[in-house]
Every structure is written in C-alpha cells, then in structure tokens.
Chain A
Amino acid sequence: MEQKLNIAKILKEKQKNHHITIKQIDTDDHPIHVLYIHGIVDIKQIQDSIILPLSEWEHREKAPLPHAFTAEPLLQLESEKEIDQHLLNGFTLLFERDAAYAVDSAQFAYRSVQEPVSEMTLRGSRDGFIESLELNIALLRVHLRSTDLKFEEFTLGTRSFTNVSIAYMEGMANEELLRDVRNSLNAVKEDYIPDGGVVEQLIERNNYSLFPEIQETERPTKVSSSLIEGRVAIFVEGSPSVLLAPTTLNALFQQADDYNFKWIPASLIRLMRYMAAFFAVMLPSVYISLISYHHGLIPTDLAMSIAKTREGVPIPSFMEALIMQMTIEVLREAGIRLPKPIGPAVSIVGAIVLGEAAVTAGIVSPLMVIVVSFAAICSFTIPDYALSLALRTISFVMLFAAAFLGIYGLILMIFIVSIHLIHLQSFSTPYLEPFAPIYVKRWKDSLIRFKLKKGGGRIE
C-alpha cells in the first residue's frame, strides 16, 4: 500500500540535528528508537508513559508495538513528510523495524489564559484565546458544550505547516458557506503563515476594499455565539485571534456587553455607538465644509464665535483639519507601540503640549481641536479595530471631498461608500445584511437590540 520507510536513512539524517533527541531501547532481537525535539515535549510524560512501559514490556517479541500503549493514542506514520510534521508538532516518534509511530507528548511554551486587551467588556466572561490551537478549542468547549460542534483540520503553509481548524455547528452553518470556506482554505498556497490576520487576507475576496470581510475576535463567548448564529470560526495555530466568517457591518458593531445588560440601556448604547461611528467619519469634514463653503447654514451666533476663534490662524481650514487628523493618528500609533510605562507620557505630550500650545501659538483654532479630538474619541467606541481603521481612512477621504465640493461632496461620498458596502459580500452574505437587502425579522438585533425572549426563542 505504501512505500517502505527507510528508517535507517531517516535516523541518520535526524542525528545531524542537535535539537532532536534519539534514544535507543534495546530489546531481544531489535532496537526501538525514540525521537523527540527537546524543549517542546513533556519529558516527564515521555519518561513515565513511553520509555518506562517500553523497557518493562515483556511480550514485545510477540505483539507489534501498537498494542503496547493503552491510554495514549498511537498513530502509525506512513511518509517522511508525516514524520517531520509530527516531530515538529511535539510528538514523540517510535521507530520499530520499518514502521514509525507517533505519540502526542507536546508541551509548547504558552502564556496563560488572560483577558484580551483589545476587546474589553464590563460584564461576562473574561477569558481570552491564547496561542495554542488545542487550548483555544478547549476554551471554546467551555462555553459551547454541544455534540453538534464540529471541527475540521487543515494544514496551511507549504513550509510552516501551520495547523488551522474550522469550527461550526452542524445543522446550523450553511452547507454552501462551509464549502466556500473549505475551498478558500485549500486554495492558500503561501509558504509561511505567521498569524490569523494573514489567513484572513489570503481568503478574503475584495482585496481593494477597506472593510474587513472577516471578523476577528479573542473572546471565546463571541465565537460561541457566532457559531450558534450559523457562522464558521477559523482557528489558526499560534494566533490568539479567531476568524469569524461571514461578517456584516452590523455584526462588527455588536459587543458582548450588549447582551449582558438590560435591553433598553444596551440598545441605547448600541445606537450611540452607531452615531459615534458616524461622527468619527463625518464630523471633521462637515465642520470644514460648513466653515469654508456654507457659512449660511451655521447659526449666526455660532458663526461669529467660530470666526473669532479662527482669527489669526494662518492656514486654510482644510489644511488645519488635515494636520490635526494626522497628529491624532500619529499619537494613536505611538500610543500602541510604546511600552506601557511611557504610554501616559505620550498622551500628556500630545494633549497638553500639542493641543494647548498649538492653540495658544495660533496655529490651529480651538474649535478645530475640539472637533477633531471628539471625532477621535468617537472612533474609539467602534468595537472592531479593523472596522475602525477602515472608517478612519474614509474620514480622510471625506476631508478631501469636503474641501472640493462641500456638503454636496460629502453627500456624494456617503453615496459612494454605501454603494461599495451594498456591493460588498462576505462569503456570499451581503455586508449590509438586515438593511439592504431588507430582512425585517433581523432588525430585532441591528440598530437596537430587542428584549430576549423568555419562551425559548433566541435573538439572531
């Protein structure tokens, strides 16, 4: 059935590698070789449950090796590629005559389960995914103990052999969606997969779109509730971010807290989040278009005070807004990259020195500082970072539209963005799903979140 493995040759090759430990256990008529990579295996486990039983084993001449172990599953390997892969995944290999077997003994170095930094919630579970695929799946099982929960394994990366798993609820996930996800994963031909974000970009369709087609989360509860909705989760070995497909704009605005608090305040907060996102995109550009094109639309008193604050500002309002927006982006990027102890220093320098001093020096008007920083704060309310990146990019484009065509340009830009969103699909699901095309039934969990049904129904 398969070509015979040349054990002697493989052993010779492996001996050259210093990290691979090879132990020989002599039996009466033939030796058994034990191979593992030091540092990624549990030495105690190998000692107790592999080497010890093997050396004490009495009937080894009569029965072949698979019968030697009872608790640990023993896999027979059939190719050199499999041997390498298992060795690298922390398995212990056993070579007996021409046969090779593998026992799972992996113990990679992982951090412990922590609360995800990028997705904070007030209420609800605080566990977050870590870098281990196996432990991540175990974390998911904590929240979703169902026999319908199914997993499928993939190996991505022709060189890195990264393990990727998809999870879905059988009977709830659409068969077509599953086929789509499987095909996309199988089509990946990259040689190295460093993280989930790379997988995301390799399987999404619209590479020129700013909007994320796949949602990324580090919270097991988010994954479990998405699976219940019929979505598919993609786990990538070595990555704490789990990918959820398909996604919609509406899903990207939802947060775990929305469901853990009573529905009226939760809905108000969600509505506010939508409005904040709108402000984050539109506020600076609306302000510019009002003061550079449509003075008439501003109430007279306000117009007077704006004119007073802009007195002595040497640059046009468009440049002023552009500079301020850029400064905010630079501060934000600096804040992310800096080590934690220095972080507050940057915000002090940014807020007080740049903001205060720039106004006092007459480079920018105080109202512009208010507008731009409020827009920046609004953008922090967007739960999904990829979406917030997209919206911030659009807010820059909006600035240009406002500078060229005022409010008219802004309205046209809103049209363009909505035309794009209408066209956009995430794994065949329209991005604006409950709104266009209209599914009135799903409006229950869109702009606002209706109350949970007590009769066993579930909001979708």
Chain B
Amino acid sequence: MSDLKQMTMLQLIVVFISTMIGIGIILMPRDLAKAVDSPDLWISIIFGAVAVSFVICIYVTLAVRYPGLTFFEMSAVIMGKFIGWIFNFFFVLYSLIVAAYILRITAGIIKNYLLDTTPLYAVVGAFLLVSMYLIYNGAGDIVRFFQLYFPIMMFMFLVLCLLSMKNLDIQNIRPVLQNNIGSTLSATTITFFSFLGMEFLLIFAKLIKKKKAKHLLITMWASIGFTTLIYVAFHIISIGVLGVEELKEITFPTIEMAKSIEFQGFFFERFELIFLFGWLTTAFTSFTAYTYASTLGLKNLFKPSKWFLLVAGVFIFTFTMLPKGLTEVFHYSTHIQVISFTAIVVLPALLLVVSTVRRNTYASS
C-alpha cells in the first residue's frame, strides 16, 4: 500500500499546512518589519492570505476541469506537447530552485545555531538523503509522515507560544491599525510567498477523493486559514517579545524569540531546542514536498524511471552549494520570487485562459 490511491480532505489539509509553513516562519518577520515598519505588520499576512485565496480559485477550476491529471499532464493536454513541455520544464526548475532555497536556509540556520564548524555539504547532504529516503518510499508514505508529525509540530508551536507569553510586552504591539494602509498592503508581495506550497493542489489533484469545487475550496481555505493563524500568532508574539526595531536587525527573529525564553529553576532553561525540532520538521516537510514535485516533473518530462529521484537530488545539492553565504542567498530571493510568481500564478492562469478559449475538457477515465 505504499502507493497512494486517494486522499481525504483532512490528509490534504495536513499536507498543505505542513508544506506552506516552512522557512517563511523564520525569515518573514524581518522582511515584514523592514517593509511595513510598524506593529501592524501581521495585517499584511492576512492580506497575503486573501490574495492567495484568489489564486486558489485558478487551481480549483483547473482541477475540476481536468480531474485525474497532475499539472504536468494538464499542461500537455491544454497547450500541446511542445509548449506543455516548456511549461513543465519551468515548473520543475521552479520546484528544484525552491527546494534548494529551503535547504540552503535550513542548513544556514543549523550551522548558525547548532553546528558551527561542521562543513556545509555534510549538513546539506544528510538532510537531502533523509528526504530522498522518504520520497523513495512513495507518495503514500510522504502523506503518512506528514500526518505523523503534524500533531507533534503543532504541539511544539503551541508550547512555544505559551512559553513566550511571559516575555510579551504589550507596549510593543501597540498601536494597532495606526499605520498607513498603503505600506501594509504593499507588504503583501512578501507575505504572498509565505504561502508557497498551495500550488501542490495541482500535483495532488488526481488523488483527491472528493473532486467537487466546493470541497476543494473548503480544503484550501481551511489550510490557508490555519496557516495564517499560525503565522499571525507567531508574528504578534515576535513583535511583542522583540519589538519592531529589533525585528529589523535580527536575521532569524523567531529563533531569537525562542532563545529568549528562560525558566529558572526548571531543569532545562532553554527552549529553543523545542522550537528547532518543530521548525526542522516543517522545513523537512516543505523540502520533501518540493523534491517530490520535481522528481514527479522530471519523470514526466523524460520517461518514468526511479533514477530521477537521484537526478533531482544531485540538482538540488548543486543549487544549494552554489551561493557562497547566506547574504548571497538573500540576494537571490527576489529572483526566486519572480520565478515563483511565474510558476504558480502566471502558468496556471495561462493554462486556464487557453483551456477556456479552446474549450477542451478532459473526460476522466
């Protein structure tokens, strides 16, 4: 039963939340603080969620029109073989780059906080190999892994939130809604990308049990809503604990926030380990989802073979090792955002437009 035949709505929600929450929770507070420069920055996340909810409609329409097809198969059906191939190629490239980006940031944080003298390739390689082992076992196991770790992850985040309450300074959060709406809105360009992962609806669409548009929308909105809740909670706590000015300066504010928790008299006074475990799990799940997508895409571009997992692994490893330091990685992030936007908004939108114009639908077998 290692191959997955169908997914329930709950499984899908777990997969989406696990994929969406990734490095965003670590990096976003700083970017947002720089862009918005006011305690209102969490409102941008809600704007981002609303924007993403509209993009979801494109996916849902596509998924309903072409039931039983993945993005890779859809694009060939809609755009024809050649253009479809280019679309797929771009999507695979996008997945590989995002996977490498997640991996690089993760490895950077690990090196920063846990293993400062260990060579980067060891940190990256170990992570990659474990993820490849999971993907090798099949999609069913990936979903079950996400399911197993989801409650653990949520529990850790909850514990962290509760523990941070002690350090929370309510003065830091105020004033609420005093910022001009323009800069809050413009930060949507940042928050939008923290919901990366929702495009996997187009990959998993063929496995979904209930294929009606209504069910898909509920699933997606539930996932986005829950993710937003976690993001907003974390941001409010980050602002409350560290303050906006400090947020702007710290590279990994969420971890610093976890580090600031101290309980004297308790056996362990430091709780960042709990956070690092929870967060490493989310990074692992996001990374696995992207590596899985790129493996699937590679199989679709060329011919089905087990070797493409290895090929994807080699590509991701190369991409990950390319940048010299984290500063260079952050430098690339704007380019990555452009690629992401093209892959997850422009391509599906084009597919939808062409498919509406040509009126070809696919009868599922």
A residues whose Cβ falls under 8 Å from a Cβ of B: 293-294, 296-297, 299, 404-409, 411-412, 415-416, 418-419, 422-423, 425, 428, 430, 432, 435-438
Contact = CB atoms under 8 A, between A and B. Distances in A.
Interface centre among B115, B141, B273, B284, by most A CB within 10 Å? Answer: B115
Contacts of A416: 130, 133
B126 interface: yes
Contacts of A428: 1
Given A293-B114, A297-B273, A422-B137, 16 more contacts: A296-B270, A299-B267, A404-B122, A405-B118, A407-B114, A408-B280, A409-B126, A415-B130, A415-B134, A416-B130, A419-B133, A419-B137, A419-B145, A435-B148, A436-B144, A438-B147
A362 to B, nearest CB: 27
Given A408-B110, A412-B127, A436-B145, A423 B2 contact: yes
Contact of B137 (A293, A297, A299, A423): A423
Given A409-B126, A419-B141, A436 B148 contact: yes
Interface in B97-149: 110, 114-115, 118, 122-123, 126-127, 130, 133-134, 137, 141, 144-145, 147-149
Nearest to B122: A405
A427 B134 CA distance: 21
Interface in B136-176: 137, 141, 144-145, 147-149
Contacts, number: 75
A25 B148 CA distance: 72
Given A299-B267, A436-B145, A294 B130 contact: no
B265 to A, nearest CB: 10
B7 to A, nearest CB: 11
A430 B138 CA distance: 14
A219 to B, nearest CB: 30
B249 interface: no
A299 B277 contact: no
A407 B269 CA distance: 17
Contacts of A293: 114-115
A299 B269 contact: yes
23 contacts: A294-B114, A296-B270, A297-B272, A297-B273, A299-B270, A404-B122, A405-B122, A406-B118, A407-B276, A408-B110, A408-B280, A411-B277, A412-B126, A418-B148, A419-B134, A419-B141, A422-B144, A423-B2, A425-B1, A430-B144, A432-B148, A435-B148, A436-B145
B82 interface: no
Contacts of B277: 411
Nearest to A414: B277
Nearest to B107: A408
B130 A412 contact: yes
Contacts of B145: 418-419, 422, 436
B54 interface: no
Contacts of B122: 404-405
Nearest to A432: B148
Contacts of A407: 114, 273, 276
A296 B115 CA distance: 12
A412 B129 CA distance: 10
B302 interface: no
Interface in B50-76: none
Contacts of A436: 144-145, 147-148
A402 to B, nearest CB: 12
Contacts of B280: 408, 411
Nearest to A423: B137
Interface string B81-95: 000000000000000
A296 B130 CA distance: 27
A186 B10 CA distance: 41
